[in-house]
Chain A
Amino acid sequence: QVQLQESGPGLVKPSETLSLTCSVSGASIGSYYWTWIRQAPGKGLEWVGYISSMGGTDYNPSLKSRVTISRDTSKKQLSLMLTSVTAADTAVYFCARTQVVGPTGPPYFDYWGPGTLVTVSS
């Protein structure tokens, strides 16, 4: 059974860096793409970015200058870093296993963590 669990500080000050970890069990990190998605309170879903099975990354253009996704295969963990945060970055952050469809894309997300709420406030 694939399970994902996000963790990290629930409160981050404006202008600081948001850092989250996603622990994965039941699947090999090196065999799949993994995606971070966020959801502001009462709002819709926003794709943040992904890390591929080969370790390459792709990010939402609106966040690209501030976001970094990485992985530690030995620890079975994914990481998300978002710099210079503002109140607009307040959201529940989800990590999700990603299935690549192929040329007709886009990928879809078949297993999700429960999410972790990050509030940006002084």
Chain B
Amino acid sequence: QSVLTQPPSVSGAPGQRVTISCTGSSSNIGAGHAVHWYQQLPGTAPRLLIYGHINRPSGVPDRFSGATSGTSASLAITGLQPDDEADYFCQSYDSSLRTYVFGSGTKVIAL
């Protein structure tokens, strides 16, 4: 069981905005450890989407944005496209477990 909790799935119509939450605690996100986000298309390796809470690597569309508040982080996808259907994972560090941790993962479904 992951210490970073994400909803199993979120869905939206093409063009809509969806948000994925990543809920942690005072030993990870709440402790100020950076949050990163990855997109994993079916049958492929994860791809870095957001690093350091809000930064996008070159080539990632600005439709993807990250935010952090307190013990939680979120990833927003605006203008949802069918190609955005994938699993999304958050990642941080947990001071109590002394390990890098990933979220439980969220499947985004474009209706």
Interface bracket on A: 20 to 34
Judge if A1 is at the interface, Cβ distance under 8 Å: no
**Inter-subunit contact A44/B103 (CB<8 Å):** yes
Contact A108 B48 (CB under 8 A): yes
Interface of A is mostly: loop
Our pick among B34, B47, B48, B99 for the contact of A47 (Cβ within 8 Å) is: B99
Contact present for A104 and B33 (CB under 8 Å): yes
Residue among A60, A106, A108, A114 making CB contact with B45, cutoff 8 Å: A114
Task: List CB contacts (< 8 Å) of B24-52 with chain A.
Answer: 32-34, 36, 38, 44-48, 51-52
Smallest CB-CB separation from B37: which chain A residue?
A108
In whole angstroms, what is the CA distance A62 to B98 when docked? 10
Contact residues, A86-109 vs B (CB, 8 A): 94, 99, 101, 104-109
Whether A61 sits at the interface, judged by CB under 8 Å, is yes
